[in-house]
Chains A and B, each alone.
Chain A
Amino acid sequence: MSDVSYIKRPNRPLHVYALSYLAFLYIPVLFLPLFSFNDSIYISFPLKGFTTNWYASMASDEPMHAALINSLKVGAVASVIATLLGILGAKAVTRYKIFGQRTVVSTIMLPLVIPGIVMGVALLILLSRIGINLSLVTITLGHILICVPFSMATLMARFEGLDSSMEEAAADLGDNAWWVFWRVTFPMVFPGILASLLLCFTISFDEFIMAFFLSGTDPTLPIYIYSQLRFPQKLPGVLALGACILVVSFFVVFFSQWLQRQGEFGAAGKGDHA
């Protein structure tokens, strides 16, 4: 442990590779903000000049505002419900030895690996057969379905990381189950809950594939963006909007990941350095 063996010797080529990998991840996305300030409706080099017109035009874009509000509503409801379901599920599978635990967890995680289009059309078929009109509610239902696995995964990590003897102590001291949860468990898993809410909100806010099948006349923001992609003169406006969405998403997700993994690392860090 003490000697820095040659296994841990810095590896310069690998370091360069890692930086280029991050460049591959981030540079493509950065072209959206770059061209959103370009004074031309054509998205190509050389850059023509600096303008904020595309951002200014967003202010008067009524359909876009409506779509934004729709997305905020769907995201808020979907993230709250998915997180509530996630709390129940995560507590159950981490705190109780339950029969068939692995099967249960994999069942709940299933939407992670089912192609979005399959879930989208399957839900569309169900809704149309039982006669429910497509609306923001149906999009929200679809989004809850795909958010629960992420919420569960986030919260399970949090529940596993905390010491259950605290809860036992509170129970021994006479708190009933609800008080134990409210006064002991909740404060300890709160960062996880916040992380889950933020993550689910972003997933729902950015989700396109299922919303495409499940939306009625009210579009969410990704649906609105997709409908604009057909019109070349609208593209700069989409770039400006996209740049805003990306900046906000990056901050929200960074914060949520930091909240979640900080707990994980805090717990894992102690026993890990063998």
Chain B
Amino acid sequence: MTEGTNVALAPADQQGSRTSYLRALFMRSESLRGYALLSPTLAVMLFSMCAPFALMVIMSFWTQIGFKFDTALSVTNYREILDSPIYSALLIRSLKISGACALATVLISYPMAYYVAFHVHRRKLLWIILMTLPFWTSYLLRVFAWKIILGYNGVINSGLKSMGLIEQPLEFLLYSPTAVVITLAHAWAAFAVLPIYVSLEKIDRSLLEAAADLGDGPVLRFLRVTLPLSLPGVMAAMLLIFIPTVGDYVTPALVGGPDGTMIANIIQAQFGKVNNWPMGAALAISMMAIVAVISLAYVWVSRKATEQIG
């Protein structure tokens, strides 16, 4: 495809009927011209995603021997992942933490998105920017902020102590799965607010008027009109948060402690101090595969559910 377009892009220098034919074909086909324009971007993105992933898949079938790789293909790594209880336990914990985080973030963000969509009439733009602004600032620093807030001698503990409300620091705050969920919910809030806001904003206001005219009170109207129509945004938000957070390792490393360690911490260790790259590749692929299966199942179920409602 690119070959043809390149030829056709050359200056029109009457090289013969073949070139002009290609050129005519090219100019006539909007799709081809579109692809010609798109090709650098698409090529860069495809190459820099496909090549590393293909290689990672291959490497996951290798085995690490000392500082070298045994490049004979085997499923040793995957067998070990299945056999060893640590990996599955960590994976299940990661899925639970991410699921809880996605749910919590969507629940706290829904009223906010609702407020901006229905009750903010002036300066909507300012509200939207305010809601999403922290998302763009340093992730590392935001996680670090939670570390100093939840820490043993951190903001909450030292604050409560200096007010005389507690004698001993509350230990459950930092280094727990709860701390990870709170930190992640804070970090990914924008991914929940925006899709929900967009789906709420799209709702035709006359439907709400109609529901009201037909006698629905505010609660019923919300349950029967607003909520079902905003479900696509809610579904998207859940996925947009769930998928990346399963693979997060900074938050668990900084605020998770031993009970909050997630699968990505183990993957990171395979490429660091454990130095078993093939195992790390196999773990990364297993994680991706499970997340993909869960996401697809989720999309399927939610489609079915939405059809039922509609």
A interface list, Cβ under 8 A from B: 5-8, 10-11, 14-15, 17-18, 21-22, 24-26, 28-29, 31-32, 35, 42-46, 85-86, 88-89, 91-93, 95-99, 104, 107-108, 110-119, 121-126, 129, 141, 144-145, 148, 152, 199, 202-203, 206-209, 212-213, 222, 225-226, 229, 238, 242, 245-246, 249-250, 253-254, 257-258, 261-262, 265, 274
Tell yes or no: B277 within 8 A of A by CB. Answer: yes
Q: A29-B141, A113-B244 are in contact. Are A202 and B204 (CB under 8 A)?
A: no
Tell yes or no: B72 within 8 A of A by CB. Answer: no
- CB pair B206–A274 under 8 Å, yes or no, is yes
- CB pair A44–B154 under 8 Å, yes or no, is yes
Task: List 21 interface pairs A-B (beta carbons < 8 Å), by A numbering.
Answer: A17-B115, A21-B108, A29-B141, A29-B142, A32-B141, A32-B145, A43-B153, A43-B154, A44-B158, A113-B243, A114-B49, A114-B243, A115-B291, A144-B44, A148-B44, A206-B136, A209-B249, A225-B144, A246-B141, A249-B136, A253-B133
- The residues of A that contact B116 with a CB separation of less than 8 Å are 18
Q: A98-B34, A122-B55 are in contact. Are A226 and B136 (CB under 8 A)?
A: no
- The residues of B that contact A242 with a CB separation of less than 8 Å are 138, 141, 144
Least Cβ distance of B84 to chain A in Å?
20
- The residues of B that contact A99 with a CB separation of less than 8 Å are 31, 35
Least Cβ distance of A86 to chain B in Å?
7
Which of the residues A110, A141, A225, A254 comes within 8 Å of B140, measured between beta carbons? A225
- CB pair A125–B40 under 8 Å, yes or no, is no
Least Cβ distance of A208 to chain B in Å?
5
Interface of A is mostly: helix
Kindly report which residue of chain A lies nearest to residue B46, judged by CB atoms: A107
If A115-B246, A126-B55, A246-B137 are given as contacts, then 8 extra A-B residue pairs at C-beta distance below 8 Å, sorted by A number, are A17-B112, A18-B116, A28-B145, A29-B134, A89-B41, A145-B49, A249-B136, A249-B137
- The residues of A that contact B112 with a CB separation of less than 8 Å are 17-18, 21
- CB pair B134–A25 under 8 Å, yes or no, is yes
- CB pair A26–B134 under 8 Å, yes or no, is yes
- CB pair A115–B119 under 8 Å, yes or no, is no
Q: How many of B's residues come within 8 Å of A, CB to CB?
A: 90
- The residues of A that contact B161 with a CB separation of less than 8 Å are 45
Tell yes or no: B96 within 8 A of A by CB. Answer: no
* CA of A91 to CA of B284, assembled, Å: 35
Q: Per-residue 0/1 for B278-289: is the Cβ within 8 Å of any A Cβ (1 yes, 0 no)?
A: 001100100110
* CA of A262 to CA of B123, assembled, Å: 11
- CB pair B284–A117 under 8 Å, yes or no, is yes
Tell yes or no: B184 within 8 A of A by CB. Answer: no
Tell yes or no: B26 within 8 A of A by CB. Answer: no
Least Cβ distance of A34 to chain B in Å?
9
- CB pair A98–B246 under 8 Å, yes or no, is no
In chain B, residues 99-142, which have Cβ atoms closer than 8 Å to a Cβ of chain A?
Answer: 108-109, 111-112, 114-116, 118-119, 121, 124-125, 128-134, 136-142
Interface hub of A124, A144, A258 (most chain B Cβ within 10 A): A124
- CB pair B119–A126 under 8 Å, yes or no, is no
- The residues of B that contact A246 with a CB separation of less than 8 Å are 137-138, 141
- CB pair A125–B56 under 8 Å, yes or no, is yes
- The residues of A that contact B81 with a CB separation of less than 8 Å are none
- CB pair A208–B145 under 8 Å, yes or no, is no
Least Cβ distance of B137 to chain A in Å?
4
- CB pair A18–B153 under 8 Å, yes or no, is no
Q: A206-B138, A253-B137 are in contact. Are A45 and B129 (CB under 8 A)?
A: no
Interface hub of A25, A258, A262 (most chain B Cβ within 10 A): A25
